[in-house]
Structure 1
Amino acid sequence: MKKLLNTLYVTTQGAYLAKDGECVAVRVDNEVRLRVPVHTLGGIVCFGQVSCSPFLMGFAAERGLGFSFLTENGRFLARVQGPVSGNVLLRREQYRRADSPEASAEVARSIISAKIINARRVVQRALRDHGGKIDGSALDNEASHLKDCLQRLQQPVSLDVARGIEGEAANGYFGVFDHLILSGGPEFRFVGRSRRPPLDRVNCLLSFIYTLLAHDVRSALECVGLDSEVGFLHRDRPGRHGLALDVMEEFRAFVGDRLALSLINLGQIKKDDFEILETGAVRMTNDARKTLLVAYQKRKQDEIVHPFLNERISMGLVFHVQAMLMARWLRGDVDGYPPFVGK
C-alpha cells in the first residue's frame, strides 16, 4: 500500500519523461536528473512545459499509472489513464444512485456535514491555539453559525436546500478566514475567494492545493473502479469530475486550508514567492511550488486515526479509504457513506 503515497511531481520547465527499463527517467537538457522505479509510483503530475515519451505513457497505462497535466500555476488540463478497472455493476449502481434525487441528497448531506465540521474545527483550533492574537468574538460567532448550518443538515432536506446551506457556511467561514492568518503582512490579506484566476496570494495558494487534492481523490476513485465524473453533490457537466469534487469537499479544510495557513503563518511561503501578472492574476514562483509540494507530500505521510476504521493510517491513504467506503456504500455493504471527519 505504500506505493499509493508516492506521486511524482515534475515542475522543472523543459523536462522530458521517458521509459528507462522499469523506471521513469526525468531528463533536463539531455541529462538524467532523476530515475524512479514505476512500481513505487501511484501517479505522475506534470506542471507547465513538461513532455512525456509515448512509450512511457503506454508502459504506465499497462500498470495502472496515470498522468495528470497542469499549467505552470496549477490549473488542471488533462489526465491520461489506462483502461478503467473495477466492476461494471458498481458503476451502474453509481449511475442509478446519481439519478435518484433522494439518494443524491442523502450522500450530499453527509459530505457537506463533514465539510462544515472540518471547517468549524479549523476555526476552533485557531481559537484554542491563538486566542490572544486574533478576533475571538468573530471566530466564536462563526463557530456558532457553522454549528447552526450543521444542525439544519440533520433534517432530510433536498439537494438544492443542502447546497444553499453549504454556500451559506462557506461564505461565513471564508468571511473570517483572514483572522486565521497571523503573519505575512498586508500582502497576505484575504478578503474572499477568487478563482480562475486567483487574484491574491492566499487564493493562489488555496487553489493550487485544491488542485493537488483533486488529483489524488480522482486517482483514488478510479483505482476502485468508480466513475469520477458522476457525482451526487456536483451534478454532471462536460469535463467536470463531479464525484472527485464531492469527496474532495471533505478534505478542503482539514488538508488544504490547514496546510495553506501553516505555510503562511510559519513563514515558509513569503510575499516574494508570488508573481502578479498584468491581468491581475497571481501565480507562484517555481521555488514556491516546490516548497508547497514538499509540504503537501510530508502532510500525506502524517499518521491519523481514521474515524470510521478506528485504525492509524497515513493521510495519503485516507483518499483511497474514502473511495473504498464509497464503493462499499454503493454495493450495499454499509448503510450510508461515512465521510471523513478529522480531528
Structure 2
Amino acid sequence: MKKLLNTIYITTEGAALRKDGENFVAEVDGVEKARVPFHMLASVVTFGAIHISPPLLRACAAAGITIVLLDRVGRFQARVEGPVAGNVLLRRAQYRASDAPDEIVRSLVTGKISNQRAVLMRALRDYGPEFPSDARCAIEAVVERMARIVRRVGLGNDPAEFLRGTEGEAANLYFSVFGHLLRSPDASLRFGGRSRRPPLDPVNALLSFLYTLLTHDCRSASESVGLDPAVGFLHRDRPGRPSLALDLMEELRPVLADRLALSLINRRQLREKDFEFRDGGAVFLNEEGRRTVLEAWQERKREERRHPFIEETAPLGLVPYLQAQLLARHLRGDLDAYPPWFWK
C-alpha cells in the first residue's frame, strides 16, 4: 500500500525554498523554518509569491515530488512535475471507457449522493433535537428524496447524460439544506447556496479552498497508478481541466471536505476574522484562516477508516489512491465494476 507521505504547505509570502543535500528547506527572512528529507515528501503546495530555487525544482522533478503553485487566495495557477510514468495499455483502456462511460458514471454518482446523504443523516443524528422544527423537517425531506434518487440510479440503466443531470439534482437538494447544519454565532458565516469563481460568502470560500486541496490529491492519485488525470467520465473533457481528478473528488468531498468545513465552523475554529472580504463581493480565506484549515486538513487525512470494499483500515488521506487503484483494476478488467467509497 502506498505510504502516506507529507505534503508541505507554504503560506508565508516571500518565503524561500531551496535544496540542501537530500533535503527540502524552507526559509523566511533567512531563518530556516522547515527541513524535510525528499524521501518523506510527496508534494509542495505554495500560496502567493514564493521563491523556489532551480536546484530544488530539478530535485523535486527527479524525485517525483509535485510542486503546485496557487495564488494568495488559493486559486490554482500552475503545477510543476517531472516525467509522467503513465501505463500506455491502461490509458488506452481509459480512453475507450471514456467513450462509453455509463457504468463508471453510475458508480461515481451513487457514491457521491450516498455520501452527501450520509452527511445529512449524521447531522440529524448528532443535532436533530437542536434543529428548529422547520429545518429538521427540510433536512429529513431531502434525505428521503436523495434515498429515492440513489435507488433510481442503482436500479436503472440510464445513460451518462441523464446520470449527470441526476447528480446535479441531488447536489441542488443537498446544498439547499446545507446551511441548516451551520452553528456559528457569526452572522456572516451563513450559507445561501453554492457560489464559485469567486465565492461570495465565507462558507463558499472555505468549501472552494478545501475542494482545491482535494483535487490536488486526486490528481496525484490518478497519476500514481498510471491514469491520465485529464480524461474523465462524469466530467466532460475540457482543455486544461483535470476531469478524472474531479471525478474521483466527487464521491470523497462530502466527507473529506464538507464535513471538515462544518467542523471548523461549528467548533468556532474559524470566525469572521479569518476571511477577507473584497470589493465586488468576493470572499477568501486570509493567511491565518488558511493556516487553520491546512492544519485541520492534515489532521483529517491521518484519521483512519475501514474501506468497505477492500476491507482494510487506512488513513483518509490514502482513500484517493485506493480509489484510483480500484478504477485502474476495473479498466484492466480485473473488476467487473468500479466500487465507489461509501462513508459509514
TM-score class, shorter-chain normalisation, is over 0.9
Match of 2:52 in 1: 52
Separation in structure 1 between the aligned mates of residue 278 and residue 178 of structure 2, nearest angstrom: 25
Match of 1:322 in 2: 323
Counterpart code for 1:295: A
- 1:3 deviates by 4.6
CA RMSD of aligned residues (A): 1.1
Counterpart code for 1:57: L
Q: Does 1:77 align with 2:77?
A: yes
SS state of the match for residue 68, structure 1?
Answer: strand
Counterpart code for 2:185: G
- 1:86 deviates by 3.6
Alignment of 1:26-41 (within 5 A): 26-41=26-41
Alignment of 1:160-171 (within 5 A): 160-171=161-172
Match of 2:203 in 1: 202
**Do the aligned residues in 1 keep the contact of 2:7 with 2:45 (CA within 8 Å)?**
yes
**Do the aligned residues in 2 keep the contact of 1:217 with 1:248 (CA within 8 Å)?**
yes
Can you give the 5+ residue segments of structure 1 that lack an aligned partner in the other structure? Answer: none
Separation in structure 2 between the aligned mates of residue 202 and residue 128 of structure 1, nearest angstrom: 22
Match of 1:109 in 2: 106
Match of 1:42 in 2: 42
Match of 2:62 in 1: 62
Separation in structure 2 between the aligned mates of residue 32 and residue 186 of structure 1, nearest angstrom: 40
Alignment of 1:8-23 (within 5 A): 8-23=8-23
CA offsets, 1:232-262, max 9 Å, x none? 0111101100000000001110111000000
Separation in structure 2 between the aligned mates of residue 66 and residue 3 of structure 1, nearest angstrom: 16
Please report the TM-score for the alignment, with normalisation by the length of structure 2: 0.97
Match of 2:146 in 1: 146
- 1:2 deviates by 7.0
**Do the aligned residues in 2 keep the contact of 1:204 with 1:282 (CA within 8 Å)?**
yes
Separation in structure 2 between the aligned mates of residue 252 and residue 139 of structure 1, nearest angstrom: 19
Match of 1:212 in 2: 213
Match of 1:133 in 2: 130
- 1:284 deviates by 1.0
**Do the aligned residues in 2 keep the contact of 1:5 with 1:317 (CA within 8 Å)?**
no
Q: After superposing the two structures, state which structure 1 stretch, 257-266 or 25-34, moved more.
A: 25-34
Identity of aligned pairs, percent? 53
CA offsets, 1:38-66, max 9 Å, x none? 11011111111113112111111111111
- 1:331 deviates by 0.7
**Do the aligned residues in 2 keep the contact of 1:184 with 1:264 (CA within 8 Å)?**
no
Please report the TM-score for the alignment, with normalisation by the length of structure 1: 0.97
Q: Does 1:261 align with 2:281?
A: no
Counterpart code for 1:44: V
Separation in structure 1 between the aligned mates of residue 23 and residue 93 of structure 2, nearest angstrom: 37
**Do the aligned residues in 1 keep the contact of 2:186 with 2:271 (CA within 8 Å)?**
no
